[in-house]
Amino acid sequence: MNVDRSIFEYVRDYLNEPDKIKIEYYGSAFTEREFLSHALRVGGFLTEKGFAGKTVGIMLPNIPEAVFALYGASAAGCKVNLVNPRFRTEALERILIDTGTKILFIYDKIYPAHRRMLEKNGIEAVVCSPFYYRKNLKILYPFSVAACGGATRFSETLKSAECVPVKRSGEDCAVYIHSGGTTGTSKAVEISNRALNSLAEAVVDSVHPGRKDIPEDGGMLAILPVFHGFGLGICVHTVICHIRVTLMPLFKAKEAAALIKKYAITHLAGVPQMFDKLTKERTFAGKGLERIMCVFCGGDKLAPQVKERFDAILRSAGSSGEICEGYGLSETASVVTVNPRGATKKFSQGLPLNGNRVKITDESGNSLPIGEIGNIELNAVSLMNGYLNDEECTSKAVYTDSEGVRWLRTGDLGYLDDEGYLYFKERLKRTVKIAAVNIFPSDIEAVVNAMDEVAECCAARAKDSAGKPYVKLYVKRSPEAGRGSIDSRIRSEVASKIVRYAVPREIVEVEELRHTPFGKVDYKFYEKGL
């Protein structure tokens, strides 16, 4: 398939069964014909309003309007600015101004909080409700948009005539994804049409070699948000070309279990915390899981015990599926490596997708031998164009070698084994050096999380009064822990399974650990003031 075109044209050329269901959402279903028509009508609306070719913001959870707006904006020749609905007004204003966003498709619940800022900056709003297409809750729609006076309702966009798709090149920016960046500061990542389209091709060819076992009636439960690279690149853009997309705006384990069974889901993608919660959800196990064949995990390191529990539940239900962990970044539009089905390796993030390469280097950029830990560098078919309006940071993150190959310095540490499997160890900036020994907080977390007494933990860097670094461990105990102290047991486990320098100097028990919007333990929160 030609990848040098807009993401709309790429998807459109895959869809050749007009009456086949392509999107599902709580009782509503959209065929290929309806999906394309809705997208083109959104594109027509943007064109009529003078926004063709400009930047369109989408600040929505996983609801049909997000998908229609994404591909509608692409059809109108627009760049799409994907924004997390959790951003506060000050951060949102900066993001919209920096990207030149002129119109924003926004979740109706949060619109009133941002309305004054949007009006001040002359940014039009299209309010979208999770109830509009939800059959059993559509009665609530009038109430959900009642406080959105002055904004256009999404339903109004569908009254426009279908637009004529604008031709765009593969190099043109398709979306902005907001990332912490490989250097640690917030940035807008420019992802091209070619990058997203190439990612889709690489994923399908790697996961389904020869494309012979893609189920004709397969479906992906999209629980990862479309404003995140993993959700956009895998759950929507890759999947919608081949199988159904079942949208879920907010992850809840019990609800996810019900949707998996109701819609005969064959593909799943999520972060470790989601799979952990599913294994603990009573209604998940049992009949209805037998069709699951592909399960992808990214965003954070997967604890082996979570994979073991999840895979065991699938096996007992008659499924051949297993969790396949992968590795990727926003700068590569999501996944770069993934464990092959049937050939997963413990603690590994798998092999490069078709067309991708990984190397491990020292501080001088020299390649390191197999098994030696160093800097992870990537050459990916989905590599970003760069960071928006930041050539300095782009040049630090991306370089071109003597053979003309572009490489990304990830800021991550890891190693390769003799079969080319990648093992991610730690973010470089999270590593703690104690007595000249590199300590990896994620190794400590893996050991402690495996203990029966511990439900979850976070190993954070800290410094004493003399400025010397040490490890401070935050722990949420499990019901099996009882009431006695578990500090000595934790220290003994870490000392025996890692090294004595990794033993936490401080252990703090908490009722709950703070998480990021993507389900990761928010270690940066616990390292504030470092």
- For the chain, the structural domain boundaries read 7-168, 192-426, 431-526
Structure-token pair, residue 309: 């529990």
Rounded to an integer, what distance in angstroms lies between the CA atom of residue 366 and that of residue 360?
8
The ranges of the chain with pLDDT < 70 are: 140-141, 143, 180-186, 517-518, 529-530
Contact 335, 203 (CB under 8 A): yes
Q: What is the pLDDT of residue 91?
A: 86
The CATH architecture assigned to 192-426 reads 3-Layer(aba) Sandwich (3.40)
Write down the pLDDT at residue 186: 64
Q: What are phi and psi of 292, to 5 degrees?
A: -65, 125
Whether the Cβ atoms of residue 383 and residue 410 lie closer than 8 Å to each other: no
Tell me the CATH number for domain 431-526: 3.30.300.30
Residue 370 has a CB neighbour count (10 Å cut-off) of 11
Residue 240 DSSP one-character state: G
Assess whether the region 7-168 and the region 431-526 belong to the same CATH fold: no
What pLDDT score was predicted for residue 517? 67
The CATH code that applies to domain 7-168 is 3.40.50.980
What ranges in 121-215 are assigned the alpha helix state H? Answer: 141-144, 154-157, 193-207
Copy the structure tokens of residue 465.
């009064």
**pLDDT for res 370:** 97
Predicted pLDDT at 184: 44
Cα separation, 300 vs 231, whole angstroms: 14
Contact 237, 39 (CB under 8 A): no
**Burial class of residue 260, CB neighbours in 10 A (0-12, 13-18, 19+):** buried
Q: Chain-centre distance of CA 408, in angstroms?
A: 19
End-to-end CA, the chain: 49
User: Quick check: 56 and 65 in contact, CB under 8 A?
Assistant: no
pLDDT at 486: 94
- The pLDDT, as a whole number, for residue 182 is 46
> Looking at residue 143, what is its pLDDT?
67
